[in-house]
Amino acid sequence: MNPLQPDKKSPGQGVARAGTGLIFVALALVAALVIRWWQLPFIAPHLDQQAALLPDSSGMDGTPWFEDVTAEAGIGFRHFDSATPRHLIHETLGSGLAWIDYDADGWMDLFCVQSSPVEGDRPENLTSKLYRNKGDGTFEDVSNTVGLSKVGFGMGAAVGDFDNDGFPDILVTYLGGLALYHNQLGKDGARRLVDIAVNAGLKNPHWGTSAGWGDVDGDGDLDLYVCNYCEVDLKNYPVCREPRTQVAMCCPPSHFPAVSHKLFRNNGNLTFTDVSVESGIAAPPPAPGLAVVLVDLDLDGKLDIYVANDMKPAYLFHNQGAGRFVEKALVSGCALGLDGSLVAGMGIAIGDVDGSGFPSVFVTNFEKKPNILFLNRGNLDFRESSMRSGLGGPSIPFLKFGTEFLDADLDGNLDVVVANGHIHRAAKQFSDSDYPQTAQFFRRLGSAKFADASARSGPYFSKPMVGRGIAVADYDRDGLPDLAFSHVGDGVKLLKNATRTPNAAISVDLIPKGAASPCNAVGSRIIAKSGATKSTRFAVGGGSYLSGSEPRLVLGLGEDSKVEGLQIVWPSGARQDMNWDSMKEGGAFRIKEGFPPESLGSPQKSKRVLPHK
């Protein structure tokens, strides 16, 4: 039949055929719905559905709420933007920040890493900055007093008391070198941060990014891991363009060779030895590393190292004892992301999110790909749970960097915060995303289940910025953990946690035998038992992206604490049961290994000011 000829069949037949068509459409719809329904448990709930799971409020009923207090706190740091028409890959990675109580007065001070032009002269005023916490909600710039005069293309910061004198020291990574700021007492009685990297034998002529401290050989002092990104020859820098639009952009790291990362053993006499080769760190294929965490992943008492690499398999360095490592990420199921795809690993957070007592690993990822949650089942067996957990789906449109777990409302469940921002300044010209992006806050609802609560966590989370680093600390000591973010070419932001909650918390500074600072508790953990369930907090080295959080461990007790007992596991493996009755009202404590807790006072709930309307 000629399809153009009018249909000669009766109108009745036409109706019947139309009816059949409708039935087909209806059947297809039903089938689609059935498939959709069948898939539902495997699909992250839509944003609105997730919001519906949360109490309806803006921090008024105890849901987490953060206020930007940067200006009134006096944090005036602004990151130098190294952008040039060359679109160098360096120009987009940003710099980090770290909390350090450099004067050991109990108030966390803030160290902000500064960048510079990638090539050519470096203006003298581009030093990193240290802001001393005055204890009244404000900070003062003490960069000159402590002697921060070094300029360079600064990347990451890691805090540790490597000489065990009770005063935290700080390692800063640069393009082409390291600074090791040894915290010393000046003649005038004030603290000085003196760069001793050269005399200490810390040599890394590569492009260091994130770094982390931890005692990997069990001799009582902190050793140092430094990630290296890639080796770029600035004289022969290629031109990279977005394939479809030909818009110029920075080249991906795959254009450049990578080098092995560095492990430095602390010799205990203010010097270090490069043990990258003999430790096994240099054994796997070199990869562009962006984040590292030192944590005992299998709880065998020896500190392991997990490294997020950019579009290369992650490293899991399993500690065999005496600081010798075997790389096991692939066989452990934590090297690759969804469906075995490569992860553009940017940042790492560690936490027990399912009450298993094991540290699970959360890794941030590129845009159009989800953040990855690896649930830790013990014995180095990881299960990828990105979409099921609710952390994956809502993250897909964003390009993700720094991240931390924190119990923002002290309900006993770890929440997650993530900094976002594209790497391409012209992203808008070839993508449906933009260079500045909004950060995200995920609230934990149950065992390894989270909901995107960004829209109701404070104004910062709806303001697009080029986010990179995140560091957590309770800077005002009201018991609620606060946040600091770094951004490319923009100010650092200090976010005060202004959640209205009567929840109490235990916060502990752990000081292992032979150590003098809680910075050296890496490898310790506290376990709160309530009935058959337990809740664990881990002291880790490194984490986030180019940034360092305070070493204090916070355990929220919720409205109706069911905690029955608290046990500390020290890096030595020694277990110490605490007298729970002396701690059950909450508060801040210093616990030295083998001794009962010393109270540092109750968190000042009265300081939980409630400025939000």
Kindly tell me which residue out of 82, 111, 118, 161 binds Ca ion, with binding defined by CB under 5 A: 161
Judged by CB under 5 A, does residue 217 bind Ca ion? yes
Please name the residues in contact with 31: beta carbons below 8 A apart, sequence gap of 6 or more.
Answer: none
Q: Which of 215, 304, 490, 593 binds Ca ion (CB under 5 A)?
A: 215
Q: Is residue 11 classed exposed, middle or buried when 0-12, 13-18 and 19+ CB atoms within 10 A define those classes?
A: exposed
Binding mask 249-288 for Ca ion (x = CB under 5 A): -----------------x----------------------
Position 103 contacts Ca ion (CB under 5 A): yes
For residue 134, the minimal CB distance to Ca ion (Å) is: 9
- Residue span binding Ca ion (CB under 5 A) among the ranges 170-178, 221-229, 285-293, 412-420: 221-229
CB 62 within 8 A of CB 410: no
Amino acid letter at 390?
Answer: G
CA 24 to chain centre: 51
What are the tokens at 555?
A: 């355990």
Closest by Cα among 40, 124, 142 to 80: 124
The amino acid at 78? R
319 vs 365 by CB, closer to Ca ion: 319
Residue 112: enclosing H or E segment and its boundaries?
Answer: strand 109-112
Between 80 and 475, CB nearer to Ca ion: 475
For Ca ion, the closer CB: 211 or 329: 211
User: Does residue 476 contact residue 466 with C-beta atoms inside 8 Å?
Assistant: no
The single residue among 99, 107, 272, 325 that binds Ca ion, judged by CB under 5 A, is 107
CB-wise, 463 or 607, nearer to Ca ion?
Answer: 607
Number of amino acids touching Ca ion (CB under 5 A):
23
Between 219 and 242, CB nearer to Ca ion: 219
Toward Ca ion, which CB reaches closer, 69 or 363? 69
Residue ranges in 167-266 assigned as alpha helix (H): none
- Verify binding: residue 415, Ca ion, rule CB under 5 A: no
Among residues 351, 358, 219, the alpha carbon closest in space to that of 299 is found at 358
The closest of 331, 328, 330, 292 to 310, measured between CA atoms, is 292
Candidates 91, 221, 304, 404; binder of Ca ion (CB under 5 A) is 221
Q: How many alpha carbons fall within 13 Å on the CB side of residue 153? A: 23
- Is residue 509 within the footprint of Ca ion (CB under 5 A)? no
CA distances from 558 to 440, 506, 554 (A): 23, 11, 12
CB-neighbour burial class of residue 407 (10 A; exposed 0-12, middle 13-18, buried 19+): buried
Closer CB to Ca ion, residue 51 or residue 574? Answer: 574
Pick between residue 75 and residue 344 the one whose CB is nearest to Ca ion. Answer: 75
Q: Give me the least distance between CB of 460 and Ca ion, in Å please.
A: 15
- What is the H or E stretch that residue 534 is in? strand 533-538
Among 67, 91, 109, 593, interactor with Ca ion by CB under 5 A: 109
Q: What DSSP designation does 207 have? A: B
Q: How would you classify the pairing of strands 208-214 and 129-133?
A: unpaired
> 384, 474, 490, 593: which one contacts Ca ion (CB under 5 A)?
474
Under the binding rule (CB under 5 A), the answer on residue 478 touching Ca ion is yes
Q: Which of 67, 296, 482, 490 binds Ca ion (CB under 5 A)?
A: 482
Cβ-contact 383, 361 below 8 angstroms: no
State yes or no: residue 101 binds Ca ion (CB under 5 A).
Answer: yes
Give min distance, CB of 593 to Ca ion, in A: 17
- CA gap 114, 402 in Å, rounded: 17
User: What would the x/- binding string for Ca ion be over residues 170 to 199, using CB under 5 A?
Assistant: -------------x----------------
Beta carbon nearer to Ca ion, 302 or 444: 302
For residue 352, state whether it binds Ca ion (rule: CB under 5 A).
no
122 to each of 79, 89, 90, 250, how far by Cα in Å? 14, 18, 15, 22
Find the shortest distance in angstroms from Cβ 584 to Ca ion. 21
Of the candidate spans 168-176, 304-312, 428-436, 568-576, the one that interacts with Ca ion by CB under 5 A turns out to be 168-176
Given 77, 99, 153, 167, the residue binding Ca ion (CB under 5 A): 167
- What six digits make up the tokens of 305? 């190292």
Residues near Ca ion (CB under 5 A): 101, 103, 105, 107, 109, 161, 163, 165, 167, 169, 183, 215, 217, 219, 221, 223, 266, 474, 476, 478, 480, 482, 497
